Structure 1
């Protein structure tokens, strides 16, 4: 007995410590974690169910584009009341640098993840998931083509000028002359701005274009979450936590894009380039989600969101 006691004490183990006590201590630590996880999961289910019903309602789907159009048209009026000393009046703000210049990248990642999780959890068909994911690819191709075309038009319709300040003598210091502009030909808008020169010409706001297009895309794609939840309740198949979490992130991304759009219109008004960008974004959404995506699959279209997920493939889905 003395030898065993000496061996246990030499190994640093107390005879009072046992596996049962360690197991009890672990349970005491796990129980609060499980309780917190259940509370967070219940809050996530409540919030996502509420957002799913809101975004899936016919009122939102029918009139969201009208709300967005009103924001683009009358948003610049807010420039009369906003302060020029606001943190959002700085074009180098963190939100502008990290999100505005990569709007399509954020939208593609979050909406694509949502589409894959939703379609694969509903039917577990890889081909169906890829078909629904192709809608985002088509919008990406449309955005890339629009950006290239608008850049070519801006370069063709604009002119680059270099500010030149004439030399002043001692007699003309009291009344300096306005600076002149020296014309530079064969300059693109990008190269002109990189050289710290002045570009003058007609342009379309690509930031407003992609923000409007992404907002309309997110509303269309997220609107099927609510019907999928209602369809899964009788089958005792509630959407998993990863799907609910990515849906919540997409909804927060939609709020962020609308906030950035409002900041651009209020702090950096540019009429009519911003309104033209919003109109082109609306036309792109109208041509795809209200036009081509409603055609039959024989036309090679990927179909509308939710098609083949919550109803059988041989029935035509009902949309608001």
Structure 2
């Protein structure tokens, strides 16, 4: 058999198979475009609407007041909610998967959004890292607050071990409160791990981190509307990944607010939750209303959107 004829037949067969694959791919891509086109239009509409709402000066200036009212008056809802609700179970999926890793979810999504937004607006790695550092500083603040609160709780509280009453002494008498044996060498964490009782002054770390993350999300997401306006003037459109990240961050904001409301309504703890909310507010105030307003020469990473947009747009935007 002629090897040249064999090679030509193989190449001809490969060309036929390649043409078939191209036709099959074209047939699959065509309906996919019809499906993705309305989804992309819906994504653009929803993100444009949410960007307008979060960028509104009324929302940005008064969101902390709304959050403060929620923390103050949220425990009143405990008189109307049912204790048999699924949200009254402390082992609920939302509490286990999201509440215990609040900062991790916030850091992941907000950090990704800040990186993509900053780099797509200016294509500058140093500027992108400078804006991303705001998330890092907020994380350091949360770590410091958690360490300090843990030390204060260990110093101001005490661990008690319940003692079962003797059977003979309680056989004819009414049931009495169990006796408590004091353990002064225990920390709060070790006390709870040993299934003992901890009594002392506490500050709700869950309320603190939820309030801090909600305020941080509103601050970082509020500049997306300005980015849309700048892209529109440049006759460009932000890509679907950036819009999807923005939408995920908005969903995360609503999730944190819902979890905060569930904590206040189903697990009220006065005044620990109010103290935690106040510390979260003070942390946001010190960062976004204080340090981040300073100039980069003073070691500040700047406010969200600073240096990313045109001078005209920045002048119109009031912090």
Q: TM-score, normalised by structure 1?
A: 0.91
Report the equivalent of 1:126: 125
Distance in 2 (CA, whole Å) between partners of 1:229 and 1:67 is 27
Distance in 2 (CA, whole Å) between partners of 1:142 and 1:114 is 20
How has the CA–CA distance of structure 1 residues 179 and 49 changed in structure 2, closer, same or farther, with 3 Å as cutoff? same
Q: Deviations over 1:30-68 (max 9, x none)?
A: 211111111111111111111101100101101100110
User: Which residues in structure 2 correspond to 1:223-234 (within 5 Å)?
Assistant: 223-234=222-233
Distance in 2 (CA, whole Å) between partners of 1:86 and 1:21 is 57
Q: Deviations over 1:79-113 (max 9, x none)?
A: 00100010010000000000001000000000000
Q: Does 1:310 align with 2:309?
A: yes
Q: Does 1:259 align with 2:247?
A: no
User: Which residues in structure 2 correspond to 1:131-146 (within 5 Å)?
Assistant: 131-146=130-145
Q: TM-score, normalised by structure 2?
A: 0.91
By how many angstroms is 1:316 displaced? 6.2
Q: Does 1:84 align with 2:102?
A: no
Q: Deviations over 1:178-209 (max 9, x none)?
A: 21111111110000001110000000000000
By how many angstroms is 1:19 displaced? 7.3
Report the equivalent of 1:297: 296
User: Counterpart of 1:163 in 2: which secondary structure?
Assistant: strand
RMSD: 2.1
Report the equivalent of 1:8: none
By how many angstroms is 1:170 displaced? 7.8
User: Which residues in structure 2 correspond to 1:103-182 (within 5 Å)?
Assistant: 103-169=102-168, 172-173=171-172, 175-182=174-181
Q: Does 1:276 align with 2:275?
A: yes
Distance in 2 (CA, whole Å) between partners of 1:174 and 1:187 is 33
User: Counterpart of 1:239 in 2: which secondary structure?
Assistant: coil
Q: Deviations over 1:233-286 (max 9, x none)?
A: 011121111100100000000000000000000000000000000000000000
How has the CA–CA distance of structure 1 residues 171 and 28 changed in structure 2, closer, same or farther, with 3 Å as cutoff? closer
Q: Deviations over 1:138-177 (max 9, x none)?
A: 0000000000000000000001000012212287245222
Distance in 1 (CA, whole Å) between partners of 2:236 and 2:172 is 80
User: Any stretches of 5+ residues in structure 1 without a counterpart?
Assistant: 1-10, 12-16
Which one has a larger percent helix, Structure 1 or Structure 2?
A: 2
Partners of 1:307 and 1:317 within 8 A in 2: no
Distance in 2 (CA, whole Å) between partners of 1:27 and 1:231 is 35
Report the equivalent of 2:65: 66
Report the equivalent of 2:74: 75
User: Counterpart of 2:167 in 1: which secondary structure?
Assistant: coil
Count of paired positions? 306
Report the equivalent of 2:4: none
User: Any stretches of 5+ residues in structure 2 without a counterpart?
Assistant: 1-9, 11-15
How has the CA–CA distance of structure 1 residues 285 and 112 changed in structure 2, closer, same or farther, with 3 Å as cutoff? same
Report the equivalent of 2:182: 183
By how many angstroms is 1:120 displaced? 0.2
Q: Does 1:248 align with 2:247?
A: yes
Partners of 1:168 and 1:176 within 8 A in 2: no
Distance in 2 (CA, whole Å) between partners of 1:181 and 1:18 is 81
By how many angstroms is 1:18 displaced? 8.4
User: Counterpart of 2:102 in 1: which secondary structure?
Assistant: helix
Distance in 2 (CA, whole Å) between partners of 1:75 and 1:292 is 30
Distance in 1 (CA, whole Å) between partners of 2:152 and 2:170 is 46
